[in-house]
Amino acid sequence: METTAATSSLSLTAPPPDPGRARRRAGWLLLAVLTLAALVWSAIGTEVSFTSLYRAWPNMGEFLHRMWPPDLMWETTEARPFSPPLRLAAAAVAITLQISLLGTALGAAGALLLGLLAAENLTPDWVHHPLKVFLALVRSIPIILLALLFVAAIGLGPLPGVLAVAVHSLGMLGKLYAEEFETADPGVWEALGGTGANWLQKVRYALWPQAARQVFSHTLFRFEMNLRESAVLGLVGVAGLGLWIENYRRAFDYPSVATMVVVTMLLVLAVDQVVFHARRRLK
């Protein structure tokens, strides 16, 4: 009769108090205090203060002033007989695009294979566990570090960039693909097994139709990220836009730096838009 007693004691005008409220509030408060403490700690460590920001302001202004206007000459002149930055930028755009296209494709191909084997619904524990760890290890190396290592190993040029992008994409996409395969409906997998289909046939007909769109969508997004990142890889000697930014900066040729920065931004914006629309159509 406990339930009737409880029911009869209920108020008719207001809901009963929420017993978990105080605990949730304390939790939020603790989180807020911890976040604030972490921010203060970071501000002290980096010596960021309003005065330092204020003092840095004129320098920034002067730097921007030196970059203005960007060097947009297309023809060589007698005063500057070497190739103007805009021309170099056009070639660099092509190289940067090529690096990210090829790197993404190579990485995606490997990731497809490893992703299948790393999906816990497709392979036994002793296959997918070590593979997941391997993919996490690959992911844990920042792409710029990968590029640095490949440049040291095989020299300057576009190839180390392609390899760095490919390896990084392998780690990222392998995990995403595996997760995509894991969310596929297991009922369809069992049903196709019931028709006598083998493992590969089940992958092709039960899994792929369910996962394909997301796989393509992840790959496109990865391509976009790779393009942004491969522009930066020039800092460690990989061919492309970043390399020219670094070269001109070292030569104190700031108008040319500005040209390269603007071209990089335009390229990234354009690819961003193309990928955005392509992914929306995949939904």
Measured distance CA(79)–CA(24) in Å, rounded = 71
Count of residues near other proteins by CB under 8 A: 19
Nearest residue to 231 via CA among 188, 269, 192:
269
Q: Of the listed pieces 85-93, 168-176, 191-199, 241-249, which binds other proteins according to CB under 8 A?
A: 191-199
Helix extents (H) in the chain: 2-8, 21-46, 50-67, 85-118, 125-140, 143-154, 158-182, 186-193, 199-202, 208-232, 241-250, 254-282
CB of 169 to other proteins, least distance (A): 25
CB closer to other proteins out of 177 and 189: 189
CB closer to other proteins out of 101 and 112: 112
> Which residue from 185, 265, 269, 272 is in contact with other proteins, where contact means CB under 8 A?
185
> Which residue from 15, 16, 45, 187 is in contact with other proteins, where contact means CB under 8 A?
187
What track of x and - describes contact with other proteins for positions 127 through 166 (by CB under 8 A)?
Answer: ----------------------------------------
Measured distance CA(163)–CA(158) in Å, rounded = 9
CB closer to other proteins out of 190 and 272: 190
DSSP state of 207: I
Return the structure tokens found at 212: 């394909």
CB of 82 to other proteins, least distance (A): 52
Contact 67, 257 (CB under 8 A): yes
Does residue 194 belong to the site contacting other proteins (CB under 8 A)? yes
Does residue 196 belong to the site contacting other proteins (CB under 8 A)? yes
What are the residues binding other proteins (CB under 8 A)?
A: 185, 187-188, 190-198, 200-201, 204-206, 209-210
